[in-house]
Amino acid sequence: MNKKVLVIGSGFAGLSAATALADKGYQVQILEKNDQPGGRARAFSADGFTFDMGPSWYWMPDVFERYFQSYGKSVADYYSLERLDPSYRVYFGAQDYLDIPAGLERCVELFESIEAGSGLKLRKFMEESAYKYEVGIKDLVYRPGRSLLEFADWRIAKGLFQLDLLKSIRSYVHQHFQNPRLRQLMEFPILFLGGTPKNTPALYSLMNYADMELGTWFPKGGMVEIVEAMVALAKEKGVEIVTSSPVRNLKVATGGHISGAECDNATYTADIVVAGADYHHVEQQLLPAAYRQYSPQYWEKRDMAPSSLLYYLGVSKKVEGLLHHTLCFDESFDEHAAQLYDHPQWPKKPLFYVSATSKTDPNAAPEGKENLFLLVPTAPGLVDTDSVKKDYLHLLMARIKKLTGENLEHSIEYQRSFATSDFVSDYNSFKGNAYGLANTLRQTAILKPSLKSKKVNNLYYTGQLTVPGPGVPPSLISGQVVADEIEKDYAKALAV
Ligand SMILES: Cc1cc2nc3c(=O)[nH]c(=O)nc-3n(C[C@H](O)[C@H](O)[C@H](O)COP(=O)(O)OP(=O)(O)OC[C@H]3O[C@@H](n4cnc5c(N)ncnc54)[C@H](O)[C@@H]3O)c2cc1C
């Protein structure tokens, strides 16, 4: 009989792992805590407004295409994409902004208009970033990180220099550009990786290539379309998704073999378990202590990606001055970063991000209105209270007014907030992290929490706290990588 796999969690990583395993012939069941699949990328509607709850930037379209093509499908079979132009707007002060055009050539022109000679440098920067993207996203991210030997090939040895693994993205960017705005613009994509420009390897300038060359896209209907597409494909492959079923406990037999997972009203048996829920939650809360591979001290020392203070606002008018994606970088990035990582506290003068998908999608808000999603990166583990959330909403409204001239405070007809405590209660997130473990040098590849448990022989992990890291494309890849490892291990076991 086919081996039975239980996947805990139906985020991108869980869905991806489940689909890949079902495709390989395993019998797969997903147990999901919440009442809908998608994890951090769930969506909701209220009072005629629709909101994606988490990710909003569709980058690296090639990764999504490769995902569906590996099953003989195409993205176009499930949803349609539109390239945004401008890709996004960045505010540096009141009515003082740059719109980043779609396509490298127009970015080169923009750079040149700001700093003489920087257009040429951008072109050179992008050539190097294209190489890093080629090696990084098409090769390195597919390595499971179980042994150093995986990296012992010529491209990596050569790449220590060419891939800039040992240099920070900050020094790399500063080496190329002098203008503070251009520097900030080139450092922005690092925010997706959860670290700071100072502690993130310059390998990740591949994100600049994703930004300026590959572009910012929007799946019509919102990011939740990706979830729906992946769920449809998973079901087509025979995956069963059981929602509203939080796993409370994993049953481990002596010797380290999981026999099943206990939910509130049922126990599910398994030959193999894939943990797609937050790694820390599964190993520290669902496994008996004797079978945990990492100590609480280990987890305390990890550099987690930030949490977020989020607002979902339905606004009763159209808002001039905001695009589909708007970054408000009118305060010091380094000061905010220090309050995220060095001295965790509520940021005094936060940078923040606004998404208004109603600028592109007329169905996202009633006619003449706007659905705004506001995101402030915050340190993991902070205590959020109603009064903190109220104060920050007020602060953000004042900042939007200063930057765009739009007074929104009296135009909010729907509002909901989401913060650290919600990440914990909704996703069992460690310290309320929003997007996993930061991609710093000391947390790259084999230095990440391992995708295979060393203490439980049939337990594997996937998702944004293991390889390759945070973000939607890496989570999709993580699921495929773990499925391949399971297939290798079990094919090997059967052959013995
Ligand atoms: C606010 C925000 C904005 C982001 N923006 C972007 C962006 O623009 N672009 C981008 O690429 N990425 C973005 N990201 C990151 C991206 O969304 C994540 O990296 C990705 O969704 C993580 O997927 P995952 O499958 O690893 O985890 P999750 O989506 O968290 O999935 C884990 C699942 O496990 C379930 N679970 C937890 N505990 C249990 C249990 N005991 N039993 C059963 N199920 C359980 C959870 O309910 C959840 O469904 C953003 C993230 C956030 C939060």
Atom of ligand 1 nearest to the CA of 473: 11
Question: Residue 474 to residues 12, 16, 350, 433, 463: CA-CA distances in angstroms?
Answer: 9, 11, 27, 17, 8
Task: Decide whether any atom of ligand 1 lies within 6 Å of the 435 Cβ.
Answer: yes
Looking at residue 435, its pLDDT comes to 95
Please give the distance, rounded to the nearest whole angstrom, from the Cα atom of residue 244 to the centre of ligand 1.
Answer: 16
Task: Decide whether any atom of ligand 1 lies within 6 Å of the 438 Cβ.
Answer: no
Question: Residue 180 to residues 96, 183, 482: CA-CA distances in angstroms?
Answer: 14, 5, 41
Please give the distance, rounded to the nearest whole angstrom, from the Cα atom of residue 466 to the centre of ligand 1.
Answer: 13
Task: Say if residue 248 is in the same domain as residue 289.
Answer: yes
Burial class (CB in 10 A: 0-12, 13-18, 19+), 112: middle
Task: Say if residue 16 is in the same domain as residue 98.
Answer: no
Task: Say if residue 382 is in the same domain as residue 462.
Answer: no
Task: Say if residue 32 is in the same domain as residue 123.
Answer: no
Q: Return the CATH number at 326.
A: 3.90.660
Q: Return the CATH number at 443.
A: 3.50.50.60
Report the residue among 355, 435, 437, 478 best suited for mutation to probe ligand 1: largest number of ligand atoms under 8 A from its CB: 435
Task: Say if residue 83 is in the same domain as residue 36.
Answer: no
Task: Say if residue 425 is in the same domain as residue 377.
Answer: yes
Q: What is the pLDDT of residues 165-196, one digit of tens each?
A: 778 999 999 999 999 999 999 999 998 899 89
pTM: 0.97
Tell me which of 135-144, 322-331, 396-405 is least confident: 135-144
Q: Return the CATH number at 145.
A: 1.10.405
Is 67 a domain residue? no
Task: Say if residue 88 is in the same domain as residue 205.
Answer: no
Task: Decide whether any atom of ligand 1 lies within 6 Å of the 306 Cβ.
Answer: no
- Final residue belonging to a domain, choices 181, 213, 245: 213
Q: What is the pLDDT of residues 359-388, one digit of tens each?
A: 999 999 999 999 999 999 999 999 999 999
Q: What is the pLDDT of residues 322-331, one digit of tens each?
A: 999 999 999 9
Ligand 1: residue whose CA is nearest its atom 15: 471
Is 162 a domain residue? yes
Atom of ligand 1 nearest to the CA of 479: 25
Total domains in the fold of the chain: 3
Q: Which residues of 294-324 are buried (b: 16+ CB within 10 A; e: fewer)?
A: beeeebeebbbbbbbbbbbbbbeeebebbbb
Task: Say if residue 442 is in the same domain as residue 298.
Answer: yes
The pLDDT confidence band at residue 1, using thresholds 50, 70 and 90, is low
Burial class (CB in 10 A: 0-12, 13-18, 19+), 253: exposed
Task: Say if residue 350 is in the same domain as residue 426.
Answer: yes
pLDDT reading at 154 higher than 60: no
Ligand 1: residue whose CA is nearest its atom 47: 427
For residue 18, the enclosing domain spans 4-46+223-302+437-495
Question: Residue 364 to residues 23, 45, 59, 124, 421: CA-CA distances in angstroms?
Answer: 34, 9, 20, 39, 27
pLDDT reading at 157 higher than 70: no
Count CB neighbours of 167 within 10 A.
16
CA–CA distance, 423 with 306 (Å, rounded to integer): 11
Written as six digits, the tokens of 425 are 């209660």
Looking at residue 296, its pLDDT comes to 97
Q: What is the pLDDT of residues 238-266, one digit of tens each?
A: 999 999 999 999 999 999 999 999 999 99
Task: Say if residue 327 is in the same domain as residue 364.
Answer: yes
Task: Decide whether any atom of ligand 1 lies within 6 Å of the 434 Cβ.
Answer: yes
Burial class (CB in 10 A: 0-12, 13-18, 19+), 62: middle
